Structure 1
Amino acid sequence: MAIEVFNRSECKFLIQEDIYEELNIKLLKHMDMDDHNKEANFYTISNIYYDTEDDYLIRNSLSKPKYKEKIRLRSYGVPNIDGKVYLEIKKKFNGIGNKRRTSLKLNEAYEFLSTGEKPELKSYMNKQVINELHYSLKLYNVEPKLYLAYDRKAMFGRDNREVRITFDTNIRTRRYDLRLEAGNYGEPLLEKGKMLMEVKVEKNIPLWLAKLLSEYKIYKTSFSKYGNEYKKMIMNNKRLKGEMNKCSTQYSAQYQMQQLAHQLL
């Protein structure tokens, strides 16, 4: 059975694609490719993030509390309606991430998420995670909010499998057509030429990796894909509102001038 419970610290770095090319060569001296990368240089991960009507989960996450959580539906590639997907609850407490997930068929996941009623238990489901998700769905009353996909390269430490490094590129999002089976298209989240690198460890970053990051002057940053998309959406909404207010003011002024001219005739 695939691992469905993960506990680890995550360090994130925004890097340029040319730096990635050099890093990739040096990392492969210490690491092995993920099984998903055996057939392709990058593989696609698609997600739908679920949140409350007023976006409580992401707003709380951005306030940097000691404890936060997210609920998402994930697939590798674009699934069919009865294809295999993962329903996940991702928690973080004092900087330590905990991800719990269960396999489901896509139609079963949609039904669970929309009704909050637990599916009939099957051999491929994780009963404990189903129960945890059932509690969270009752607590938050979530709905689909964001589609987010990216192309990933992942690798594991050759001597220490607890060390995992991922590179995510072509991060794309949409807030419409929120179905995994609809395709992995969307608007770009990052500037062209940038990638997100994540180092995931259960304890400490190995010394050889720390030296490599220092050599390339790669510094840790705080970056949440969902969080940054949410902030971008809020800024765009404020800008649009400002433009609408400006147009409304201009129209009002023109109307008043026309009325005054009419009265003088």
Structure 2
Amino acid sequence: MAIEVFNRYEGKFLIDQALYEQIEHKLRQYMELTEFNRMNGFYHITNLYYDTGDNQLIRHSLSRPQYKQKFRIRAYGVPKGEEKVFLEIKKKVCGLVNKRRTQITLDEAYDFIASGIRPELKSYMNKQVINEIAYSLQLYDLEPKLYIAYERQAFFGKEDRGLRITFDTNIRTRRSELKLEDGDHGEALLERNQWLMEVKTERNVPLWLSKLLSEYKVFRTRFSKYGSEYERMLADNRREKGERIECLTPYQAAYSAQPQLAHQYL
């Protein structure tokens, strides 16, 4: 059965192709690929993010609050309406990420979010998560806002199964055709040959990993796929109006001035 509740800390790092290849090679001494990655290479993740009409959730998230949350439908590949996907609510409280999800068919997920009415409970659904999402739907009038897809390579610790490192590439987004079954296409979010590496752990980063990232001078960054796309959209809108565009958001500027290594983020 797929894990449906996660509690962990996350650190994010933007790296280039050459650095990815060096780090990925070194990781194999301490970590192993997921079974799917071993058999099929990278796996394909597609997401449909929901927000309010005035983008309340992402605007709040970018203000760096102590508590924030996101809603999304996640699939592996391009699903059809009757196929199972994951309906997820992701929260972050004082740095700790809590992700709760339930299996549900794509059509059931669309109907649930649009109507707020709980679907008929099936054996593959997590009742507690369904109830939690139903409560949140009473608080927010959600609508589909953004499609995000990418290819992922994931490693798990050989000794510490709570340690997970993922590499995402070819991250692409779109704000039209907002159904997962509409196909896999979108605009590139990162520069060519740029990778997003994420370190996810239930406890402190192991010493060997801190030394590895320090050796390669890999610095932590604050990066959100949804947040970055939203800020790019705002910048494009301002540019069209002839307004001045700042190169960095306030939180990006702060981190650029004081970079931090991996072992400093927990």
The TM-score with structure 2 as length reference comes to 0.90
SS at structure 2 position matched to 1:38: helix
TM-fit CA distance, 1:35: 2.5
SS at structure 2 position matched to 1:242: coil
Name the structure 2 match of 1:152.
152
TM-fit CA distance, 1:38: 2.5
Name the structure 1 match of 2:11.
11
Instruction: Work out whether 1:188 is the aligned partner of 2:188.
Output: yes
The percent identity for this pair of structures is 61
- Alignment deviations for residues 224-257 of structure 1 (CA, whole Å, 9 cap, x no partner): 00000000000001111228xxxxxxxxxxxxxx
Name the structure 1 match of 2:141.
141
Give 1 or 2: higher helix fraction: 1
Name the structure 2 match of 1:254.
none
For 2:215 and 2:36, locate their aligned partners in 1 and report how far apart those are by CA, in whole Å. Answer: 29
For 1:117 and 1:36, locate their aligned partners in 2 and report how far apart those are by CA, in whole Å. Answer: 35
- 1:148-227 to 2 correspondences below 5 Å: 148-227=148-227
SS at structure 2 position matched to 1:39: helix
- Alignment deviations for residues 195-235 of structure 1 (CA, whole Å, 9 cap, x no partner): 00000001100011110000100011100000000000000
For 1:52 and 1:154, locate their aligned partners in 2 and report how far apart those are by CA, in whole Å. Answer: 32
Instruction: Work out whether 1:103 is the aligned partner of 2:122.
Output: no
For 1:61 and 1:6, locate their aligned partners in 2 and report how far apart those are by CA, in whole Å. Answer: 19
For 1:195 and 1:228, locate their aligned partners in 2 and report how far apart those are by CA, in whole Å. Answer: 14
Q: After the TM superposition, which segments of 4 or more aligned residues of structure 1 sit over 3 Å from their partners?
A: none
SS at structure 1 position matched to 2:181: helix
SS at structure 2 position matched to 1:71: strand
Q: Report the residue type matching 1:39 in the other structure.
A: M
For 1:20 and 1:232, locate their aligned partners in 2 and report how far apart those are by CA, in whole Å. Answer: 25
Q: Report the residue type matching 1:6 in the other structure.
A: F
For 1:226 and 1:98, locate their aligned partners in 2 and report how far apart those are by CA, in whole Å. Answer: 17
TM-fit CA distance, 1:113: 1.0
Name the structure 1 match of 2:78.
78
TM-fit CA distance, 1:182: 1.1
For 2:80 and 2:38, locate their aligned partners in 1 and report how far apart those are by CA, in whole Å. Answer: 23
Q: Number of residue pairs matched?
A: 243
For 1:41 and 1:21, locate their aligned partners in 2 and report how far apart those are by CA, in whole Å. Answer: 15
- 1:13-32 to 2 correspondences below 5 Å: 13-32=13-32
Q: Report the residue type matching 2:2 in the other structure.
A: A
TM-fit CA distance, 1:24: 1.0
SS at structure 1 position matched to 2:149: strand
Structure 2: gaps spanning 5 or more residues: 244-266
TM-fit CA distance, 1:22: 1.1
Q: Report the residue type matching 1:50 in the other structure.
A: Y
Q: Report the residue type matching 2:145 in the other structure.
A: K
SS at structure 2 position matched to 1:210: helix
For 2:230 and 2:170, locate their aligned partners in 1 and report how far apart those are by CA, in whole Å. Answer: 17
Name the structure 1 match of 2:255.
none
Q: Report the residue type matching 2:78 in the other structure.
A: V
TM-fit CA distance, 1:175: 0.0
For 1:155 and 1:220, locate their aligned partners in 2 and report how far apart those are by CA, in whole Å. Answer: 19
SS at structure 2 position matched to 1:222: coil
Q: Report the residue type matching 2:34 in the other structure.
A: D
For 1:241 and 1:39, locate their aligned partners in 2 and report how far apart those are by CA, in whole Å. Answer: 49
